[in-house]
Amino acid sequence: MLINARIKKGVALIEVIISMAIMASILSVLVSMVLGSLVTVTSGEDKLEAENIAQEGIEAVRSIRDRAWNENTFNQSAVNISGGQWNFTGEATTDVIGKYTRTLTFSDVCRDVFYDIVACPGSFVDPHTKLITVNVSWTGRTGNPNSVTKTSYISDWQNAKWNQTDWVGGAGQTIWSNATRYDSDDGNVDISVPG
């Protein structure tokens, strides 16, 4: 009898150990599922935020284009708000917004003889169109690098053409904002006569 009681206790102990192992396995699966879901949700939120930052960059460039096409002179530039309007910050600059880095690059657009957009070099470079590429990169929660890229074409099709009134204001502007001034000359511009 004593042996049977010990065997029963041993079997019960083994059953308890097996039950605990099964419960530990189930709990570890549940915990990994929850943690995996949290990482997925966080990754999704990060990507959505990056897409919004990229779209904001495109909209900022469109805003600058609407104000003055001739400010689109950069190969790569960041943007900022100054004086209540978007502005470029200068060649080879990038935006750092929290954990995100936004890079705006501008490329020439080439066209063929039918004026269709083609890979450069085409028949000619369209001076009235630019390709904007906005890349937003960040390091994810798991330490992996991530990025989102958006592209868009901009053109000056709806901008008013520059109406030069005269040159009496003289030289001194690289971005036209005063209809009476010009950038520079070779000494042969007569600025004494309006018109």
8 A C-beta contact, residue 46 and residue 146: yes
Quickly list DSSP for the chain: -HHHHHHHHHHHHHHHHHHHHHHHHHHHHHHHHHHHHHHHHHHHHHHHHHHHHHHHHHHHHHHHHHH-GGG---SBEEEEEETTEEEEEEET--EEETTEEEEEEEEEEEE-TT--EESSSSSEEEEEEEEEEEEEEEE-TTS-EEEEEEEEEEE-TTSPPP----STTEE--SS---TTEES---S----SS--
- Which residues lie below 8 Å from residue 132, measured CB to CB, with a gap of 6+? 57, 58, 61, 104, 105, 106, 151, 152, 153, 154
Pairing of strands 181-182, 170-171: parallel
CA distance 141 to 11: 46
pLDDT of residue 39: 55
8 A C-beta contact, residue 79 and residue 89: yes
The mean pLDDT value for 60-71 works out to: 89
The mean pLDDT value for 66-89 works out to: 90
8 A C-beta contact, residue 189 and residue 95: no
pLDDT exceeds 70 at position 161 = no
Residue 45 to residues 7, 41, 50, 57, 142, Cα–Cα distance (Å): 57, 6, 9, 19, 14
CA distance 110 to 116: 8
pLDDT of residue 27: 72
8 A C-beta contact, residue 179 and residue 156: no
pLDDT exceeds 60 at position 6 = yes
pLDDT class for 91, splitting at 50, 70, 90? very high
In degrees and rounded to multiples of 5, residue 77 shows phi and psi of: -155, 150
pLDDT of residue 87: 93
The mean pLDDT value for 98-123 works out to: 93
